[in-house]
Amino acid sequence: MVDEITEHPKEHSLSLNLLDPLPSKIYTGIQLDIRVAVSCSQACDLASSLLRLSDDNILSETKLEKEDDKYVGKFLAKAPDVPGTYNWQLIFPQQEIGGTVHQEARLPLLLTVLPHELSLNVWDVPLPVVIRQDFSFTVGAKCMAECNLKGDLIEVYDEGGNKLATGLIGDTPWPATKAVYFARLVAKAPAAEGVYTWTAKFIPSPASPHKEVSRNFSFRSSRPGEHTVRVEVVDKFTGKPIRRPYVFIKPYRAYGDDNGVASLVVPKGDHQVFISAPGYQEKTIELKVDGDVQIKEELIIAPTF
């Protein structure tokens, strides 16, 4: 019987180390950049030796390259298309290098693969929307995996399920965001005054890893304004203007200027005017509007405790 030890007197052992941790969140289909350093216990030259990426089958093979003082294997692998947990392995198969057998070495990679979650939002809806008039608004979508959503479709439906607007998502993310992609849409406002809840839908293109997502949004439609209400807001005790007061005549709202003056255009009728400013007590007054009107209102500094 041949003694294995004497036949292979100098088997060297290998160690594998990931150079970068895997991403903390791995989404289906994303590209994984895997770099692993391999070293021999006897510091052999491992350039061009074989390294394998496997699940149950071989996913990819590469040859080690020398980088500085390391032997590095690189893989560009695609994460699985189905969410779940996967046991991948980096395998250095047993191979002879410089006349010496190098033992197999393995490094397990546990992958938790997540679906692409998508959130949808609606903004820039005019306040109020004017009955029977076209109005524009923005629908934005963001994938947790920060996918570019260009070319995916947005549709908007009313309460009765009638499609009122469609738009394609553009190429550029919303300013100051990394991955909020958006479409500008135009729809015709309802003919009657009231509060409406419509639904925006994200319709993914067929090859997309995304699912359809819906989001409701509400708005008020009102008659167009007819008369200008000019509100000057001053401090009751000093008589000086209060900068940038907030004035709300349902559903219209405005911020005043540095001279404390806010203007709103509202329909004829009886209105409540709500006035506020930081540091002051809020005030609500009744106002009958049957023509352009100017009012001057005084606010009292809010007590501090």
# chain residues binding Zn ion, by CB under 5 A: 8
Select from 32-40, 233-241, 248-256, 292-300 the region that touches Zn ion (CB under 5 A).
32-40
In the list 13, 15, 17, 42, the residue contacting Zn ion (rule: CB under 5 A) is: 42
| Backbone phi, psi, residue 22, to 5° | -65, 155
Which residues, numbered 116-135, are part of the site for Zn ion (CB under 5 A)?
116
Q: Is 40 in the site for Zn ion (CB under 5 A)?
A: yes
CA angle at residue 14 from 13 to 19, to 5 degrees? 165
Place of tokens 């995996």: 145
Question: Quick one: 206 or 291, whose CB is closer to Zn ion?
Answer: 206
- CA–CA distance, 284 with 274 (Å, rounded to integer): 4
Q: Is 180 in the site for Zn ion (CB under 5 A)?
A: no
Select from 86-94, 108-116, 170-178, 255-263 the region that touches Zn ion (CB under 5 A).
108-116
Count Cβ atoms below 10 Å from residue 127 Cβ, excluding itself.
11
Closest CA to 158 of 80, 77, 221: 221
What minimum distance in Å lies between the beta carbon of 85 and Zn ion?
20
What minimum distance in Å lies between the beta carbon of 91 and Zn ion?
17
Question: Quick one: 40 or 122, whose CB is closer to Zn ion?
Answer: 40
Q: Is 141 in the site for Zn ion (CB under 5 A)?
A: no
Asked if 157 and 214 touch (Cβ cutoff 8 Å), the reply is: no
Select from 60-68, 143-151, 160-168, 185-193 the region that touches Zn ion (CB under 5 A).
143-151
Q: Is 143 in the site for Zn ion (CB under 5 A)?
A: yes
Select from 11-19, 104-112, 213-221, 272-280 the region that touches Zn ion (CB under 5 A).
11-19
- CA–CA distance, 142 with 121 (Å, rounded to integer): 9
Question: Quick one: 44 or 107, whose CB is closer to Zn ion?
Answer: 44
Asked if 291 and 267 touch (Cβ cutoff 8 Å), the reply is: no
What minimum distance in Å lies between the beta carbon of 134 and Zn ion?
32
What minimum distance in Å lies between the beta carbon of 156 and Zn ion?
22
What minimum distance in Å lies between the beta carbon of 205 and Zn ion?
12
For residue 234, give every residue at least 6 positions away whose Cβ sits within 8 Å of its Cβ, in sequence order, or none.
Answer: 240, 241, 242, 260, 296, 297, 298, 299
- CA–CA distance, 287 with 298 (Å, rounded to integer): 15
Question: Quick one: 5 or 43, whose CB is closer to Zn ion?
Answer: 43
- CA–CA distance, 251 with 269 (Å, rounded to integer): 13
Question: Quick one: 97 or 130, whose CB is closer to Zn ion?
Answer: 97
What minimum distance in Å lies between the beta carbon of 143 and Zn ion?
3
Asked if 103 and 94 touch (Cβ cutoff 8 Å), the reply is: yes
Which residues, numbered 43-72, are part of the site for Zn ion (CB under 5 A)?
44
Asked if 125 and 217 touch (Cβ cutoff 8 Å), the reply is: yes
Select from 17-25, 112-120, 256-264, 295-303 the region that touches Zn ion (CB under 5 A).
112-120
- CA–CA distance, 256 with 169 (Å, rounded to integer): 35
- CA–CA distance, 196 with 164 (Å, rounded to integer): 13
- Residues interacting with Zn ion, by CB under 5 A? 12, 40, 42, 44, 116, 143, 145, 147
